[in-house]
Structure 1
Amino acid sequence: MATMNPPVSQTRSFSTVFLIELWERFGYYGMQALMIYFMVERLGFDDDKANLTWGAFTALVYAAPAIGGWVGDQLLGTRRTMMIGACILALGYGLLSVPTDSQYFLYCALGVVVVGNGLFKPNAGNLVRKIYEGDDSKIDSAFTLYYMAVNIGSTVSILLTPWIKDHWGWNVAFAVCMGGLITGLINYAFMFRTLSHIGSPPDKHPVHKGKLAAVLGTGVVTLFVVAFILQHDAVAKGCVYFAGVVILAIFAYLIAKSTRSERSGLIAALVLTVQTLLFFIFYQQMSTSLALFALRNVSAEFSIFGIHLFDWLPAQYQALNPLWIMVLSPILAWSYTYFGKRGKDLPIAGKFALGFAVVAIGFFIYGVGGRFAVEGRVSSWIMIWGYGSYSLGELLVSGLGLAMIARYVPERMGGFMMGAYYVATGISQYLGSVIANLASIPKDMTNPMESLALYTDLFNKLGFVAVGGTVLAIILLPMMKRLSATHSEHSQAKTATAPASAEAAAE
């Protein structure tokens, strides 16, 4: 008599995706912590060129999943595509570790990272969605904890890679990023069976060699296209605007072609995606204006009650973001589950409004902190508390962005819409770099008092923009409440009729 394998728990399946995401983010954020400094200090880029190059790259990093989600859904399978993407990412970080000052080689290596991220990112998120399909309160909690995986990996790498760079050089530091991906792949090899029941239809069949060759061949072409775009600012800007039009057109088409029961959810997803786009303009400051602010206008000393503890490297200040998120994520995840069980959980639209409010507070902390600067340098505590407020806002907006797609978008559109969401965030990443250039520091400006004035002026303006985002989110709350209620009613009706339909089909 054949024995059946016991069902795999949601927790074990989630843990597998959680860990591969942790190591993938270790690699990406280790590279991010170094890249703006690498371009400015090693390759001699001015602030404008470094910010816009990084902005174009991150826009492409976030745009690529629009295709990667479709590849996972329709061609290679969600699980399989995720792992191919992880392998390509490891290759990209390995290329960054090659000792050369060639700008074109840098652009090609970044192109490989774009391709790998495009295949990995939407499919990892879509697996989490499939694990918790149909349980809204658990989806919010799961994606908040999933977001914490990002920050565990990034915290370690952001603290580690700048230190390695100072002791052994840029190339060794980038090689460590590659090592993170390799570690994640080895870990997955031991745990992949926990996901054997999760995935898209192609995962159930052997890989189609022709489709695999087509995907890899397209990836090679894409990396050279990316290298070309990164060399030409005008082309990058045109691509960003074109992508924005395409995203709006996609949403309009899907809403028009959707069934009545799906429409309210898609409209809600569109509204929240636009709000998320605004948030990522703020998010991009962490790796551009805030990173360069830390280099030029933040004290390296960390002390408590006048007792010196240690010194920060400028790049390590970026680790404050994931550190705060690891502290706040479990608290928010618990609160979502606790209040969700009692029917008192704040709707996603309400969480977005609260998120913009605390982001505004964070930027005002940076802006006002300049008044207390000593010889043009602010205390490390200004960065700590500013990042704390900013990070809470990030969890409430960006941390629930994927949960929003999982909740409101029909399953048949899941992978594709995950990708569309990332394209929207990529657009705002580029716009964030454009805005960061409002505080671009000329190479001949060496007085920290002059650069301090430029940075704090930018941060205060961003604070007021975040206040505007808060007001807009509050105004939209009644409409979002109606759309969410309509979506829930249709979902419950669909669930209730499904068993009856199955029984009729059996008869």
Structure 2
Amino acid sequence: MGSNTLSPQERRSSFATVLVAEAAERAGFYGVDAILLLFMVQQLGITDHRADLMVGAFAAMTYATPLLGGWIGDCLYGPRWTAIFGTLLLSAGYALLACTTLTSRSFFEPALALVATGNGLFKPNAAQLVRRLYEKYPLKRDSAFTLYYMAANVGSALSMFLIPWVRNTFDPLLAFSLCVAGPACALFILLTQTGTLRDLGILTRQSVSLKRATAFGTGSVILCILSVTFILYSTSLARLAVFSCLTLVFILWATLYRRATPSERLSLVTLGIMLIQSIAFYCFYQQMQTSLTQFALTNVDGTFRILGHRIVNFSAAQFQALDPLFIILFSSPMAGIYNVLSRRNRDVSLPTKFAIGFGFVVVAFFIWWGGIHLAAGNLTSAWFMAGGYLALAMAEVLIGGLGLAVVAKYAPASLNGIMVGAYYLTVGAGMYLGSEIASKASSTAMSQAVQSQHYENLFGILCLCALALALLTLFLAQQLNRMEKRISGKNVSNTEI
């Protein structure tokens, strides 16, 4: 049974299954993500500068491996079984991180490699299931992917509040052990729930025998785990791997462009431009896990107060939970707005939504810069941190939340899984470059006042860069919208003739 034969109730049931599995898996992943940097610095004794770069390398590999996962899902196992394989690797990776706290530091890089590879198998194929559900319903696609993105943030918000508290109150062993529950729950859901999802997640074509598919897939995954492990040991090797992967994406895009028809080329040009914009956005996004977390640890008063009365206190890691919390609040209303605009034929184009998103990036870094400036060398108020996270969450809803919708709309349908992997690779490249930027402001040898000035300069520069990008993306959106209308007009004319 394919997605075209599903009843509305079956489609909703299948979609709900994917949303719950995504939320559970992301709860484990972002629980680890929230405490990883501080665990490296405080428990493993890694320097701030090296920790920033290593976190960036891990992020890059986490989002590069979906290229492999997309290929395996498209050509070998199908999206459902590839996602299931991913949850197994994620569970093993988190368990090995827990072992790192008990035994040897040498388990750390292999554990991260298992997590990166497991994420690469799960992410593009969960998204592929959503695409298949709504491939014949384009007016509902942006809304569906926005809700899918919200589901990921439901899981991450809960774990990013809970896991740092568990680490601080008890120990990292318990924190990492709790993270295993996330992918384990996703595994159970994908194996047992919703019969329609079983049929939806099969291969659309069978190009190789089952025995060869198993050998190719298993061998590729093992090679990936070993490669990522070695990359994480070396900063220079990580940098080389990131730019090599970007080169691979460009070659893939250029090959598709050369073979495309004129109308398909417009879609590929739009896709290429928006992938570059995605890289730029995630340079800013990565500051949450790196420079903003380090800044919160040393230069922020984590207590929220109203009229002098203490409301709640946040640890440095818990500030990151504000991002998914705000995304949860914004995603459902935004999905509703998209649906209303679509029904009235007044929908805003994806390039324009990206441009508006970069405007919110400007606001976020202006708030953080302003908070440091007003603090004048003292601790920055937690409210400024929250205000910046709110603005960046709006940007993420408009850019990160719709990145998969961009691929679903502009990429060739036969290669959607691979192109989802290519999209995630650009996300990882942007996060690695963001970590490179953050490492410039990570020296613990500085006094608090000098550190504050250092972060003020960093956030001010990032604010100006975001402003330039916002203006550029707005200009590009106008040009792409005109080109798309021109091509659509020609197609209508040809149809009438």
TM-score bracket, normalised by the shorter chain, equals: over 0.9
Whole-angstrom distance in 2 between the partners of 1:397 and 1:6: 30
Gaps of at least 5 residues in structure 1 are 498-507
The answer as to 2:260 corresponding to 1:240 is no
Are the structure 2 counterparts of residues 24 and 491 from structure 1 closer, same or farther at C-alpha, using a change threshold of 3 Å? farther
Say if 1:104 and 1:227, in contact at 8 Å, map to a contact too: no
Are the structure 2 counterparts of residues 400 and 181 from structure 1 closer, same or farther at C-alpha, using a change threshold of 3 Å? same
Shift of 1:344: 1.1
Provide, for residues 394-452 of structure 1, a one-character-per-residue CA deviation record: whole Å limited to 9, x for no partner.
1111111110111111211211111111111111111110011121223x33x322211
The answer as to 2:471 corresponding to 1:476 is no
Say if 1:303 and 1:309, in contact at 8 Å, map to a contact too: yes
Whole-angstrom distance in 2 between the partners of 1:108 and 1:282: 28
Shift of 1:237: 1.1
The answer as to 2:35 corresponding to 1:34 is yes
Say if 2:23 and 2:155, in contact at 8 Å, map to a contact too: yes
Whole-angstrom distance in 1 between the partners of 2:222 and 2:137: 39
* Matched residue, 1:314: 316
Whole-angstrom distance in 1 between the partners of 2:226 and 2:402: 33
Are the structure 2 counterparts of residues 204 and 83 from structure 1 closer, same or farther at C-alpha, using a change threshold of 3 Å? farther
Whole-angstrom distance in 1 between the partners of 2:473 and 2:377: 39
The answer as to 2:364 corresponding to 1:348 is no
* Matched residue, 1:52: 53
Shift of 1:121: 0.8
Q: Find the residue that maps to 1:268 and give its secondary structure.
A: helix
Equivalent residue for 1:414, pick from 413, 416, 419: 416
Provide, for residues 86-145 of structure 1, a one-character-per-residue CA deviation record: whole Å limited to 9, x for no partner.
111111111111134644311000000111111111111111111111333211001111
Say if 2:76 and 2:203, in contact at 8 Å, map to a contact too: no
Say if 1:267 and 1:483, in contact at 8 Å, map to a contact too: no
What letter matches 2:161 in structure 1? L
* Matched residue, 1:24: 25
Task: With the length of structure 2 as denominator, give the TM-score of the two structures.
Answer: 0.94
Whole-angstrom distance in 2 between the partners of 1:359 and 1:194: 40
Equivalent residue for 2:111, pick from 89, 109, 133: 109
Are the structure 2 counterparts of residues 203 and 191 from structure 1 closer, same or farther at C-alpha, using a change threshold of 3 Å? farther
Task: With the length of structure 1 as denominator, give the TM-score of the two structures.
Answer: 0.92
Gaps of at least 5 residues in structure 2 are none
What letter matches 1:482 in structure 2? R
Are the structure 2 counterparts of residues 464 and 190 from structure 1 closer, same or farther at C-alpha, using a change threshold of 3 Å? same
Provide, for residues 191-215 of structure 1, a one-character-per-residue CA deviation record: whole Å limited to 9, x for no partner.
1413134235268999924422432
Provide, for residues 255-274 of structure 1, a one-character-per-residue CA deviation record: whole Å limited to 9, x for no partner.
11123342221111111111
Are the structure 2 counterparts of residues 431 and 206 from structure 1 closer, same or farther at C-alpha, using a change threshold of 3 Å? closer
Q: Find the residue that maps to 1:73 and give its secondary structure.
A: helix
Q: Find the residue that maps to 1:43 and give its secondary structure.
A: coil
* Matched residue, 2:68: 67
Whole-angstrom distance in 2 between the partners of 1:305 and 1:204: 65
Say if 1:301 and 1:312, in contact at 8 Å, map to a contact too: yes
Whole-angstrom distance in 2 between the partners of 1:356 and 1:485: 24
Q: Find the residue that maps to 1:201 and give its secondary structure.
A: coil
Equivalent residue for 1:270, pick from 265, 272, 286: 272
Provide, for residues 342-388 of structure 1, a one-character-per-residue CA deviation record: whole Å limited to 9, x for no partner.
11111111111111011111001001101232763111101111100
Equivalent residue for 2:367, pick from 349, 365, 376: 365
Task: Tell me the percent identity.
Answer: 38
Q: Find the residue that maps to 2:312 and give its secondary structure.
A: strand
Shift of 1:493: 10
Whole-angstrom distance in 2 between the partners of 1:209 and 1:215: 10
Are the structure 2 counterparts of residues 73 and 486 from structure 1 closer, same or farther at C-alpha, using a change threshold of 3 Å? farther
Whole-angstrom distance in 1 between the partners of 2:17 and 2:493: 33
Shift of 1:485: 3.2
Whole-angstrom distance in 1 between the partners of 2:105 and 2:485: 52
Shift of 1:163: 0.8
Q: How many residues matched?
A: 490
* Matched residue, 1:505: none
Provide, for residues 47-95 of structure 1, a one-character-per-residue CA deviation record: whole Å limited to 9, x for no partner.
2100110111110110111111011011011111111111111111111
- Which residues of 2 match residues 39-438 of structure 1 at below 5 A? 39-98=40-99, 99-100=101-102, 102-201=104-203, 208-373=210-375, 376-438=378-440
Whole-angstrom distance in 1 between the partners of 2:106 and 2:205: 37
